[in-house]
Amino acid sequence: MTVHSKIGSLFSAHPWSALGQCCASNGRFGAGIALSFQARYGQSRQVQAMNVPVGGIAPIFAANEQRLIYNLITKRFHWQKPTPQDVRRSLLAMRRHAEHYHVPIISLPRIASGLDGLDWHNVVLPIIHDIFDASPVAVYIYTLPENGV
């Protein structure tokens, strides 16, 4: 499949789509889109309890919307910055999980490039393409229209 771009809110993604975000294994959702995930799905305690190492994923089923949420564990503490290698490992873990459980679509914000500071076009997007271009899982990247991030 290919990676697709969409303008709009990530939370307006197709109901069959899993959603994903980067977060820390300590389960603190303190800023950025993580706050919206926490307000909507309240999964920070579950992420913390799963004790997933950096480079893994904490998949959680949000029963209120019948939707799978992929929490990509790209750092140990919320105040840290992820490395491209840790983003790659988490994305690869997400792809393997999605393929194993036949998840057809994953929708993501511009992960690791906002508050986390990685370069979207030169670092993160090429990693996503490298991992998902040969996968049957479709990936949609959502960008908000008002600020382009």
Please give the positions annotated as active site: 75, 116
Task: Name the nearest CA neighbour of 115 among 75, 57, 62, 56.
Answer: 75
Euclidean distance between CA atoms 7 and 11, whole angstroms:
12
The span from the CA of 66 to the CA of 83, in Å, is 31
Q: Which two tokens stand for residue 77?
A: 């503490």
